[in-house]
Amino acid sequence: AHFEKERLLFHQGVKVLSLFFIDSVAKYRIYEGNDEIDGEYARIFEEEYNSLLGENITLTDPIYSDYLRGIDAGRTHNGYFSIDKKSKKLVDPSVDARGETKGESNDVDAYDLILKDKERLLSFGEPTRFIFSHSALREGWDNPNVFVICTLKHSDNTISRRQEVGRGMRISVNQAGDRMDDPATVHDTNVLTVV
């Protein structure tokens, strides 16, 4: 779904992002002593990513193909998680248990990181296109170019599910920061895929 949307919007200057909600930081990134290694999800992602590129999905568009092949699989994804103040290592953030914010992260570090780097993240110069996160983060965390949301965790919480889907319910922007809201194409361009 990501590559299909990206292929459609690439020449319009719209960077496509995909957001994965995962059940545990350790499944994405593992800490052993002072070393940081890829977890199960990161390894599987890179294998699948490289496999898709190997299937020649971009032969019809050499400019898009060059763009994809210019990004190493290890640099096209990143995780945004809470940071433990003592160990300086990424951890599962605490999540509000009740009230209107039930199911949302109450972690300010991850929230600030996304908001501070939003413009850089939307640039084609930034290789990150796939974002792994532990929770739906608090209200206001959004990025207009999230076109695919994949949930790799179990949840019966309706509010949390709505928060996760809400991360992708935005009008996208191109490289100049212009909203892709032309009345003739807005409903074709801004479609969210939820997996």
What's the mean pLDDT when you consider all of the chain? Answer: 78
Half-sphere exposure of 21 (CA within 13 A, CB side): 26
pLDDT at residue 144 in the model: 86
pLDDT at residue 189 in the model: 92
**Are 169 and 38 spatial neighbours (Cβ–Cβ below 8 Å)?**
no
pLDDT at residue 88 in the model: 47
The residues, any chain, with a CB within 8 Å of residue 20's CB and separated by 6 or more, are: 41, 130, 131, 132, 133, 149, 150, 151, 152
Count of C-beta atoms within a 10 Å radius of residue 70: 9
pLDDT at residue 109 in the model: 47
CA geometry: angle 60, 65, 69, nearest 5 deg? 155
pLDDT along the chain (195 residues), means of 10: 93 94 85 79 95 75 89 89 49 52 47 63 91 66 84 71 68 93 93 90
CA–chain centroid gap for 189, Å, is: 18
Q: Which residue has the tokens 């908001």?
A: 115
Task: Name the token pair of 182.
Answer: 């032309």
pLDDT at residue 60 in the model: 76
pTM of the model: 0.79
pLDDT digits (tens, 9 = 90+) for 36-78: 788 999 999 999 999 988 876 656 788 998 899 899 999 999 8
